[in-house]
């Protein structure tokens, strides 16, 4: 993860995101701080595609499965781009989603693992995201967190050929090893 500081730290805005280059990087905003991460590797992209395929296949008609770079803007000072997300169809705006997501998924990478495990977990929790999944493709490990009140509770950690039978955001069976084929 790279922190860009061409402006004074802590002073980036949503409007600044519109002026950034259309390059291979992912730009996210957290309370005035710009987070920049490099383009994903093949193993990361494979996991995103496979997970999206499984989720879309089981997604009910009133929900939508989307992938980054779709912006989730839970507050006027935050813009996050989960690798995969599920939301209500009516919550999808022209360029952003502002209402709480039903599911945010981050596929872990070396450059962003700590941010995904700690920072984004806290931000999604604060944003009222009902479920947060972290998938580590190198370990074929899926960690499932679900919001209970205002706090995430770990519901499952499954690896390899073990299956996770999700109820949130809808019933779907996820096998970590199948996401890295």
- Which stretches within the chain are classed as H helix? 14-17, 42-58, 113-114, 120-126
For residue 76 the two structure tokens come to 């006027």
Q: In what order do the strands lie in the sheet with 84-88?
A: 63-67, 84-88, 103-107, 131-136, 141-148, 151-159
Asked whether the bond before 79 is cis by omega within 30 degrees of 0, the reply is no
Give the pLDDT confidence score for residue 14 in this predicted structure: 81
Beta bridge partner(s), residue 132: 104, 145
Three-state secondary structure call for residue 23: coil
Interval 31-44: pLDDT, tens? 887 777 777 788 98
Output Rg (C-alpha) for the chain, integer angstroms: 16
Are residues 137 and 179 in contact, defined by beta-carbon separation less than 8 angstroms? yes
Task: Report the predicted TM-score, pTM, of the whole model to 2 decimal places.
Answer: 0.85
Q: What is the pLDDT of residues 84-133, one digit of tens each?
A: 999 999 999 998 999 999 999 999 987 666 677 788 999 999 999 999 99
Residue ranges per structural domain of the chain: 40-180
CATH level 3 topology of 40-180: tt1808, chain A (3.90.1570)
Q: How far apart are CA 135 and CA 101, in angstroms?
A: 18
Would you place residue 52 in the very low, low, confident or very high pLDDT band (cuts 50, 70, 90)? Answer: very high
Give the strand pairing for 71-75 and 33-37.
unpaired
């Amino acid at each position: 993860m790279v922190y860009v500081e061409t402006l004074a730290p802590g002073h980036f805005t949503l409007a600044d995101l519109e002026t950034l280059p259309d390059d291979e990087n992912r730009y996210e905003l957290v309370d005035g701080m710009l987070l920049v991460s490099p383009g994903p590797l093949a193993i990361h992209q494979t996991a995103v595609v496979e997970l999206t395929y499984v989720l879309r296949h089981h997604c009910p008609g009133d929900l939508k499965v989307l992938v980054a770079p779709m912006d989730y803007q839970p507050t006027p000072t935050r813009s996050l781009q989960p690798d995969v997300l599920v939301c209500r169809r009516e919550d999808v705006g022209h360029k952003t989603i502002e209402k709480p997501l039903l599911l945010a998924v981050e596929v872990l990478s070396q450059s962003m693992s700590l941010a995904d495990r700690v920072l984004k977990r806290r931000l999604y929790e604060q944003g009222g995201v009902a479920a947060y999944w972290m998938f580590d493709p190198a370990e074929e490990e899926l960690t499932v967190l679900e919001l209970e009140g205002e706090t995430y509770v770990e519901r499952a950690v499954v690896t390899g050929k073990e299956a996770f039978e999700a109820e949130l955001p809808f019933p779907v069976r996820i096998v970590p090893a199948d996401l890295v084929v």
